[in-house]
Every structure is written in C-alpha cells, then in structure tokens.
Amino acid sequence: MASFSTNEFKSGLKVLLEGEPCSIVENEFVKPGKGQAFNRVRLKNLKSGRVWERTFKSGESLEGADVMEYDMEYLYSDSEYWHFMRTDGSYEQLAADEAAVSDAMQWLKETEKCTVTLWNDVPILVVAPNFVELEVAETDPGLKGDTASGGSKPATLTTGAIVKVPLFINIGETVRVDTRTGEYQGRGKSS
Amino acid sequence: MSDWRAQPSWQTLVARDRLNRAIRAFFCRRDVVEISTPVLGLRGSPDCHLQSLEVYTQQDRYFLQTSPEFAMKRVLATYGQSIYQICPAFRQADLGRLHNPEFSILEWYRPEFGLGELMDEVMALLRSLPQGKACWAAEPNRVSHREAFLKEFGVDPNVASIAQLRSLIERHTSLEVNHLDHFDDEMARSDCLDYLFTECIVAGFSGLTWVVDFPVCQAALAEIDDAGQTASRFELYAQGIELANGYQELTDAIAMQERFNQWNQYRLNRDLPVMAIDQRLLSAISNLPRTAGVAMGLDRLMMAWLDEDNIGKVMPFVWSAS
C-alpha cells in the first residue's frame, strides 16, 4: 500500500496508525514561524469509531490502509457471527464478529441496511442506519389518553435495546429510534 | 487539464491591485524608497524553521529567498536609507489554509526608528488602505508574551525547563501532541514555548493584536533588551492569524554568527540541511545603523482585508494549480 505524507492527508483518507486502521477527518497545517511546523489532524479509529485529535510533524507519513465501505443488508446471527449480504446485486455474504458489530448489535433486525467497513477484506465495523423502527417487546402498560404529561418509561425492544419511551406506548407498537443517541423519535410508520 | 481557470473573483484581483497601489503611495509619502533585490541567492537563511527551495545552474546552487531580509540589510548597511520591497518569497513545504510555498512579502526598514515608532507606522499603513476596515481604526490589543506566559502557566519562559514545558503541554492541550522532538537543546525548548503560546494564548486572540516581549530564545535576528529578559520584536495578529513580524534589528555580527550557529546545530541534530553562513551579510551587519524593520505577509493582509479564510482565495493560482 502507498504511504501518504501529512500534506496528502485529505478528509476520508484511510491510513494505518500504530497498526490500527483510521480515517482522516480533518487536517490543518500549523506553522507559527518561531517553532516547528506541524499538522493538527482529527482521525477516526475505524475499529472503535473513536475520533481524536493528534499532531504530526509536517512531512511525516503514514501507510495507507486497505479499507472499503459497503452498504449491506443484515441477514441473521448465529450468536458467534453476524451475517450480512451486499446490496449491489452480487449477493456476496460476509460474517462480522462481535467486536465489529458491538455498537450496532442492539439495533439490528433482519433486512436492516447497514454500513459495513472492511479492512483487508475483513469486517471491522458495522454501523446501523441513523434511524431504525423497532417493535416494543416489553414495557409497563400504557396510560390511556396520556399523550401530554411528558413522562417516560423504559421499554425493551425486540432486538434487546432498552429505550425511554412516552407513557402511552404499548407492547407491540413500533417506535422510531435515533441509533446515534439511543433516543425515541416517535411512533413508527408501521404502528 | 480542465481546471485551468484562476480561482479568485475579478473583484479580488482588482482589490489586490488597489492594495498594492495604496502601499506604494503610503511609502512614497514617507520617502521610503522601493528597491528590488535578487530572489535567488547564493546563501539561504539558516533559520531552523524555514526550509529554502534550491535552484541549480550549471555551476552553482542557489536558494530561493525565504524573505528579502539578508539582501535588504546589505543595502541598508550600504546606504543607511529607508527602504521597502514587495516581492515573492518561498518556503518549502509550507502548505495549508494560511500558507502557500510561494507567497508575497512586504518588507521595510526604517533607520533611527525604535520598535514603537515602527508599530505606529504599521498601523498608519493599515489605516491608509482604501475602504479600511472599521475594526482597524481602534487601538489594537497588546499582549506581552512574557506576562501572558507567566499569567497562563506560572513559569518564566526564559528559564522554564524543557521537562516543565512538556508537562505543561500535556496538561493544557486536549489533543495528543506528537510532533515535538525529543532533543533537549535550547531550540527544542523554544519549540515547546511556541507550541504552548500558539495553542493556549494566540488561539484566544480576536481583532488586531500586538505581541511584544518575546523570550530571548526566540529573538531570531532582533536585539535583546538591556535587562536581557526579552527580545525586542513584535508580531501583529488579525483574528489570531499572524500578519507581520518586526525587529529592532540586531547589529552585532558576533551575536548574529552565534545565532546562525545555534540554528545550524539544530539542523544538524535533526538531519535538516545545514546552511552555509552568508559572510557578506555578516560583514555588512556592523555597518547597519540602529534600525527597526518589519515583514508583512501580503496575502495574509489581503485575507484580513477581504475577510477571506483561505490564502487560495486571494491569489490567482495556488501551488498545486500553478
């Protein structure tokens, strides 16, 4: 793989840093004139999803990382692997392990469209869609007519996620959730 | 190649022309004479933070100037007159939102001026520009590097140890600092000071701001004050972006040689090319009258004047589109 110098660090470039695949988020050249020039770089660790800021000596280079991102459909889990299928017509299937699925796991229902990141052809990160609609499997009985009091209660969804929902939501209803924050957004369209 | 067009609007180029004319008119009124010195020199600047671009002829190697400073000082030592120059300067690998490897400098020297008088003249120049910015009419903020550093970090920048500065960097910055090297020389200490000052103090600047009272290790080619505490230089910032950099010029050839040697030692330690000393400059320097001199980044001035946030918006072609 080619290596890239700090002045080639463009947003979206995938590089290897200390053996971990990262994506460049932002890169700024800083040179006060009386000190060493450096680049202030925001990177995202593609395995953990963690974003952090780091300075590099200007001119330093990093090796590129063989990273691809695909839209894939979630099929099923055999409890060790989570299986996904490409949606580009190739029907190619891939299995992701628990580490890759960790954050997305609680939002995955069959046929959900996810973004799967591959590093050297191995899935390292599965990201659920920003919004999902899931059915409530368990919650305290709803209070009839209470649509205004603003109170909330925990509800367990069919995927196992626990979300705070308004008091009027009942078992069997579908709710719309923002997977980035885990917050209830409203009743689902199918409910 | 389809992207052959110049990037800025025509109005921007017209504004640039107006700016250049206003600058020339300003110096004409003050009897400061415009000169031109060679852009290519047999010697480059040894300043350890400036890397020169090289040009080869059949016989010799030349350096593209990183600023017209050395040649202008030789002219100044010859005639002792007020001079200015508008010219290109080149700094290898300086590339970013605020940097282009080729850029324009306005540099001028005023014999008999003290630093304060030169600062007044810089402000008079800014205020003489057509369609002046309202915020330039007010007196700029003034920050003493020394006092700001003492107040923010509780240490004297002249004596703080490199270990102390490294632990301050860890405590005061939220990011992972990885670019500072692990040498323990005075210039490495200066790099730490500069990083702290940039990230923790300059980052909070708004409007026009003078910085004065620099640490001794950042004297560059400025004199040290009588008490030996601060370097007699100033910098001018607009919204935290450096516009100009001025010195009470060092006229002591021995001190200058020592600073060059220190820079070259820094270069040697870090595998940067060592720059042969410009002996013509050293011979000239003891003939320099007491002088204050300043260099201003003209592209940066244009950015501040037009409220642009990227140097590429004020020049027809940036480095990568040349």
Whether residue B131 has pLDDT greater than 90: no
> Which has the higher per-residue pLDDT, A34 or B63?
B63
Does residue A191 register a pLDDT over 60? no
List, for residues B20-52, the tens digit of each pLDDT value: 999 999 999 999 999 999 999 999 999 999 999
Q: Which of B164, B176, B179, B141 is nearest to B270 (CA)?
A: B179
Q: What is the pLDDT of residue A48?
A: 85
Average pLDDT over residues B56-83: 97
DSSP state of A142: P
Taking alpha carbons only, the member of A15, A114, A120 closest to residue A61 is A15
d(CA B318, CA B89): 14
Task: State whether A60 and B179 contact (CB < 8 Å).
Answer: yes
Q: Roughly what angle, to the nearest 10 degrees, separates helices B162-172 and B186-196?
A: 20
Considering the domain boundaries, does residue B211 fall inside one? no
For residue A149, what pLDDT is reported?
A: 62
Residue B249 lies in a domain: yes
Report pLDDT digits (tens) over A30-57.
998 788 899 999 999 998 888 999 999 9
Q: Is residue B90 part of a domain?
A: yes
Best residue in B173, B179, B205 to probe A by mutation, most A CBs within 10 Å?
A: B179
Nearest to A55 among B99, B179, B197 (CB): B179
Q: Can you tell me whether residue A7 is helix, strand or coil?
A: helix
Distance from CA of B247 to the nearest CA of A (A): 14
Domain contains B231? no
Q: Residue A21: CB partners within 8 Å, gap ≥ 6?
A: A14, A15, A45, A46, A47, A65, A67, A119, A124
The closest CB to that of A33, out of B93, B178, B245, belongs to B245
Are residues B198 and A30, on separate chains, in Cβ contact within 8 Å? Answer: yes
pLDDT digit string, tens, across residues B160-202:
999 999 999 999 988 999 999 888 888 899 999 999 999 999 9
CA distance B279 to B284: 8
Q: Is residue B234 part of a domain?
A: no
Answer yes or no: are the C-beta atoms of A134 and A174 closer than 8 Å.
Answer: yes
Mean pLDDT across chain B: 95
Smallest Cβ distance to A32: which of B174, B175, B198? B198
Q: How are beta strands B141-144 and B208-212 bridged, if at all?
A: parallel
Place of tokens 């200490």: B189
A36 CA: distance to closest CA in chain B (Å):
6
| Contacts with B242 from chain A: Cβ below 8 Å | 32-33
Mean pLDDT within B243-267: 96
- Could you tell me which chain A residue has the CA closest to the CA of B267? A36
In 3D space, the residue among B226, B162, B225 whose CA is nearest the CA of residue B195 turns out to be B162
Give me the interface pTM, i.e. the ipTM.
0.87
- In a domain, residue B168? The reply is no
pLDDT of A174 over the 90 cut: yes
CA-nearest residue to A28 within chain B is B96
Task: Say what the pLDDT of residue A190 is.
Answer: 64
> Under an 8 A CB cutoff, do B194 and A59 touch?
no
Residue A153 has pLDDT above 70, yes or no: yes
CA distances, A53 to each of A43, A66, B252 (Å): 6, 22, 43
- Domain count along chain B: 1
Q: Does A9 touch chain B (CB under 8 A)?
A: no
How many contacts (CB atoms, under 8 Å) link A and B? 75
Task: Inspect the interface and report whether the beta carbons of A33 and B179 lie closer than 8 Å.
Answer: no
B83: domain CATH number? 3.30.930.10
**Which 17-76 residues of chain A touch chain B by CB within 8 A?**
28-40, 52-60
What does the pLDDT average to over B212-235? Answer: 95
Residues of A in contact with B96 (CB under 8 A): 28-31
Query: Which residues, in sequence order, are CB contacts of B138 under 8 Å at separation 6+?
Result: B207, B208
CB contact under 8 A, A28 and B96: yes
Which two three-digit tokens encode residue B124? 């008079």
The residue of chain B nearest to residue A30, with distances taken between CA atoms, is: B96
Q: What is the 3-state secondary structure (H, E, C) of chain B?
A: CCCCCCCCCHHHHHHHHHHHHHHHHHHHHCCCEECCCCCEECCCCCCCCCCCCEEECCCCEEEECCCCHHHHHHHHHHHCCCEEEEEEEECCCCCECCECCEEEEEEEEEECCCHHHHHHHHHHHHHHCCCCCHHHCCCCEEEEHHHHHHHHHCCCCCCCCHHHHHHHHHHHCCCECCCCCCCCCHHHHHHHHHHHHHHHHHHHCCCEEEEECEEHHHCCCECECCCCCEECEEEEEECCEEEEEEEEECCCHHHHHHHHHHHHHHHHHCCCCCCCCCHHHHHHHCCCCCEEEEEEEHHHHHHHHHCCCCHHHCCCCCHHHC
The two structure tokens encoding residue A88 = 């580009």
Domain hosting residue B73, numbered range: 10-138+244-321
- The residues that bridge with A168 in the sheet, in sequence order, are none
C-alpha B6/C-alpha B166 separation (Å) is: 44
Interchain proximity A57–B181, CB inside 8 Å? yes
**Is residue B257 in a domain?**
yes
Share of chain A above pLDDT 70, in %: 94
Please check whether residue B208 lies inside any domain of the structure: no
pLDDT in tens, A129-138: 999 999 999 9
Contact between chains at B174 and A53 (C-beta distance less than 8 A): yes
